[in-house]
């Protein structure tokens, strides 16, 4: 311990402890001059959000036709081909039109007179 350097004795400035309570009270009672800025920023943010939402509702999305909407459901894998066929009154007509589009065949492969049974 003898090898440690000796520290100078600390002495506070004159009158420091006498004026300390008044200094603390003065800083505590001081109003923050920028407190209104927080409320103004929040109001501007809410106003901007409201105007953005108003713009979203002012331009509603275009209405899709029933066929386009069904295609979107099918492409998003929410509906299967069986679901679409079950909604139809005559699913055979739909299947016939799909076969006609895919294979280009409009005439039947055989007629009733060609049946051998």
- The pLDDT tens digits for 19-65 are 899 988 888 877 666 677 888 899 999 999 988 887 766 666 778 88
Between the alpha carbon of residue 49 and those of residues 38, 41, 55, 93, the distances in Å are 17, 12, 10, 50
Query: CB within 8 A of 72, min separation 6: which ones?
Result: 64
Q: Are 91 and 85 in contact (CB under 8 A)?
A: yes
Can you give the pLDDT at residue 44? 94
Q: Are 99 and 105 in contact (CB under 8 A)?
A: yes
Alpha helices in 1-117 (DSSP H): 16-29, 35-58, 66-75, 81-87, 91-103
Can you give the pLDDT at residue 47? 93
When pLDDT is averaged across residues 84-92 and rounded to a whole number, the result is: 80
Can you give the pLDDT at residue 59? 67
Q: Where are the domains positioned within the chain?
A: 66-106
Q: pLDDT band for position 77 (50/70/90)?
A: confident
Q: How far apart (Å, rounded) are the C-alpha atoms in residues 69 and 105?
A: 28
The model's pTM is: 0.29
Q: How far apart (Å, rounded) are the C-alpha atoms in residues 96 and 93?
A: 5
Higher-pLDDT residue of 114 and 69 is 69
When pLDDT is averaged across residues 86-97 and rounded to a whole number, the result is: 81
């Amino acid at each position: 311990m003898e090898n440690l350097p000796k520290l100078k004795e600390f002495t506070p400035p004159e009158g420091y402890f006498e004026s300390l309570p008044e200094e603390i009270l003065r800083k505590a009672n001081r109003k923050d001059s920028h407190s209104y800025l927080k409320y103004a920023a929040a109001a501007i943010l809410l106003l901007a959000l409201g105007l953005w939402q108003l713009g979203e509702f002012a331009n509603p999305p275009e209405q899709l036709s029933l066929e386009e909407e069904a295609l979107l459901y099918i492409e998003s894998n929410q509906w299967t081909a069986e679901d679409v066929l079950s909604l139809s009154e005559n699913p055979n007509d739909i299947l016939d039109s799909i076969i006609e589009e895919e294979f280009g065949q409009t005439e039947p492969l055989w007629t009733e007179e060609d049946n051998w049974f």
